[in-house]
Structure 1
Amino acid sequence: MGITLKHIVLTAAGTFHYRRRIPKDAAEVIGKREFKRLLGQTEREALRNYPKVNAEFERMVEDARRGAARRKSAGSPDDLTPLEVHRLAQRRASELEAMKVYVGDRELTGADPEAADVIRDSALSSGLSDPVERQAVNLVANKGRIPRPSPTLADAKRLYLQERIKGDINENQKTLRLERVMGYLAHAIETDRPLDRLTREDAREVRDHMIRDLDMNPSTVRRYVNDIRAMIGFGITEFGLRDALNPFQRLEIRVQTVAREERSPIPAKTLKAIRARLEAHAGADLWQIWRMLEGTGCRLGEVTGLLVSDVKLDAPVPYLDLVHHAHRRLKTAGSVRRVPLIGEALDAAREAVKAAGDSPVLFPRYGKVRGADVASASLMKHIRAVTEDDKIVVHSLRHTMKDRMIRARVSDGDQDLVLGHSRGGMGERYGGPDARLEVAAGAVKAALNGL
């Protein structure tokens, strides 16, 4: 066998498999000790599929660890939703009302107005850091006339976890999947959004984000949307929200929903306005990310997931070394590449490296699992402040670079070296990474010189 990559096993049947032991802490959450996937029938197939499967393993372990950390801290007061605080406070208020309070020579219960004032003044003077205790005192002082907070998306998730998943034979896997689903929802919907204020527009944005930005297969998106619909529907029913509608009900999912060709390059005038908006109103890191995207044609996740060590500023041709990381997978084998840094992209990279300081991650706010989702949501707010054209999104910058290279008469093969598109035989076209970097630099220079 000519393959020397780790974790590849050649079976007696002649097929190639990825086989790897799952770390103990993650195995306890996932429910199995070993991860196995078929890579292909030939060495060529195995090499092509290896990056994707290896990234899947790293992402699974990271999700398991993050999920375990969330569950470990779930009982802390700071982690409670307003509705959970209110429920616990009602119980505590009952205890306070049953307390005996002495006002002068009289013995009163906490339910008495005079006693309630004594309890409130005493509690407030000692300073209430516990939100449950603070709410309980308010309930006593207001004789319980504080409206119940509206159930939120976070409440629906926790109730669904408690009633539908806890105790299931596949509890760990289903919990992990639910955490993943909540991450996708977070792109468009805050976890503290009331269930009765979810809109169809929210549902479409979540769906489109998975297809458009995460490049998921529509069948995969359909499965996740089914999970979301079930969780929200369960919350609406169990919380008694009679007038609330489930916006994910009968949400159509087709390949044509957000077809890639519907994402437009950004017109020069609009691009200028977006740049002005970002420079004036966005954080320094977002502005750096935008300039690096515009000047390289990289995918958003490729830039937000960079480590400082991936930025080679002292090379003869400065470049980004795009490789797989545990917190960020790359889309295809062709995505592993060197991308030249020229002009503003180089300036932005220098600024980012300096700002990162001692952090190993180039963009600490976004260099984590699903960090690209957070960056996408922030950038889209600025884009939508400039244009309502739904064909113009962050990913449109790749189309913009593509158009610039086409106008500069850059060959298809050289364009693919820059953009990271997989093409058969590309490895034989140029001798090595340095040669490919030089060709890619020529392509980017030609594109930028045409502006």
Structure 2
Amino acid sequence: MARPALKLKYVKLDENGRFRYRRRVPKSLHRALGKAEFSKVLGISEREATLAYGEYHRDVERQIALVNSTGEIATPLEHHEHIKSFFRLNGLTPHGPGATTDEKTARREYSEEILNKYPLIEETGAYEGVSEADSKLVVALRLGADTVQSEPTVTDAFHLYLKEKMNPDPFKQRKNVNNFRRIEEHALAAFGSNLPITKIKRSHARALRDRLLKRMKPASARRQINNIKAVINFAAREYDLAECTCFRNLEYPEASTAPSDLREPLPTDIIDSMYEALQPHPTLLEIWTLMHHTGAQNAEILGLHIDEISLGDDVPHIEIKPNSSRGLKDSARRRKVPLAGSRALKVAKDIKARETESGEAFPKFAKPRGHDNFSNQLMRILRRFTPDRKHGIYSLRHNMKDSLRAADVSSRLQDAILGHSLGSGAQANYGSGFTLQKKQAALRASLKGWHPPLDRNSPLD
């Protein structure tokens, strides 16, 4: 009876009954990697093959990942990783020119194989057009892997930061990656090259600030500088390097508008018009109603699950917490918000009465791309009634804030309803927070100040 093949990716029994790892290299990477295939005998028993598989497979993955689609390795740190994995894959000692005569011979053969990819200039005896990656690898083969020094660069820092700080919310993850990629591009342009992070100076920081100020408002430029400062110092800490201080205390021009001017609450007549215009769009109307009556962000409502709506309790409410559809920005966003007002209660009951396969209240818009789709649809309707750029979906949170303030609700209770941070230090962490009854009373008080057509039959008492 034939021995069954071990179920490891790329591993099969060869003609001699040995477990062999065989993996073809994409054609575009043949030149950069110097081979068309990775092949290695892992052992003659399943146990031997299983023990040898993990490290070898990881190194193959690393070799392929480090070489991009153009066949070039991007950064010095990646060059060093490429060399280390090459040495491991081929069983070479990292120090010196080779531990044995056989290893020295093997290294010489590897070097010749790499260089023979390039044309030889007979007059000089040099090879023409040798890539930086191949040049460094040949040096390492001749003298030892440790002779090729490397420092993490700006690109390395961004790569590490995005890998380690990945947001669990797919929608926010995509936004974060796009945002950090933009500031990385600005940094590379302002610095003039992909600098090692230890070489970034105050002049580079000022050049980046000036570049950003030509393209955005001071507040946005400051935020982007804070982002790259976080990236660079995270990398410095992870690579045991000195903290970069060059981005500290940069000067910015005074902002032309106050933060409160960036977004304004919607006038009552526009809110009334939106309720009328959304009648033919029941799902949009439900989402709009919940946002308006709870002050929640659109992503918090779009990612709501049906089981996070509670109608059987003394205080009907929604619970905003991380779930499979979306995460939360911070712990303060996790909260319970009462459903005050007849419109909000009716929407909640309608949602609870239906079932979805995913358990999401709004499956069409719950996924990351659905958020953009929702925003585009709703903004097209809103723009029928207001061209003001300060009016947007987020304006509804400002409406709720103003309503709570007008009802003399304490600022800390407002924060608890809206999911704003309660501050830092010991005081913010004491106690169990405000009860649903307290929040309900605050929301009912705020509803009394609303325009009558909105919730004429609301249970305000």
TM-score, L = length of structure 1? 0.45
Higher helix proportion, which one? 1
Q: Which protein shows a greater Rg?
A: 2
Structure possessing the higher relative contact order (Cα contacts under 8 Å, 6 or more residues apart): 1
TM-score, L = length of structure 2? 0.44
